[in-house]
């Protein structure tokens, strides 16, 4: 998978935010797969999975906000 954007950002803040965004998206995908009937077993703690999904979504929103803030500041300069 190619990173976004395709060239390496110069700003460490942007790189950090992109890493958080990417890792959180992968974690969200993984957590959501645990809710599929094929993988669900009696020992699956659905409350824990739900909390993990919420945390991943929060991390994605946080990273997106950081990117918007950074790019808005850069565009205003």
Give me the pLDDT at residue 3, please.
47
Give me the pLDDT at residue 41, please.
61
Contact of 67 with 22, CB cutoff 8 Å: no
User: Distance between CA atoms of 57 and 16, rounded to whole angstroms?
Assistant: 17
Contact of 53 with 31, CB cutoff 8 Å: yes
Q: What is the greatest pairwise CA distance in the chain?
A: 55
What band does 1 get if pLDDT is binned at 50, 70 and 90?
very low
Tokens of 6: 């395709």
**37 or 3, which is more confident:** 37
Q: Which long-range contacts (CB under 8 A, 24 or more apart) does 46-54 make?
A: 52/27, 53/28
């Amino acid at each position: 998978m190619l990173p976004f954007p395709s060239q390496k950002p110069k700003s460490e803040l942007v790189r950090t935010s992109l890493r958080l965004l990417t890792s959180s998206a992968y974690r969200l995908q993984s957590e959501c797969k645990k809710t599929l009937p094929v993988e669900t077993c009696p020992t699956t703690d659905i409350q824990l999975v739900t909390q993990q999904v919420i945390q991943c979504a929060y991390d994605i929103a946080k990273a997106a906000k950081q990117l918007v803030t950074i790019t808005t500041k850069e565009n205003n300069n």
